[in-house]
Amino acid sequence: MSTPAEITEVMGRMGVKGVSRVRCRVLDGKDRGKVLTRNVVGPIRVGDILVLKDTAMDAEGRFQKR
């Protein structure tokens, strides 16, 4: 089941492949209002809508600013 989520913050970029770490708020479903951290590939801005396959997991690992 797909769940929409709105990007609330772009935390930064990782590597050379265009991966961004973003914070998003779930808009619908049982986890409505939950704030998740996700890794997103491609161009992204605050206010964009992501369609998430799973709302149970967060992006893991340390994020280093360069």
Q: pLDDT tens across 10-37, in order?
A: 999 888 888 999 999 999 988 899 999 9
Q: Which domains does the chain have, with CATH numbers?
A: 3-46 (2.40.50.140)
Give me the pLDDT at residue 18, please.
85
For residue 41 the two structure tokens come to 């590939």
Q: How far apart are CA 11 and CA 9, in angstroms?
A: 6
Amino acid, res. 49? I
Q: Report which secondary-structure segment, H or E, holds 5.
A: strand 3-14
Q: How far apart are CA 4 and CA 36, in angstroms?
A: 12
Q: pLDDT tens across 2-17, in order?
A: 999 999 999 998 888 8
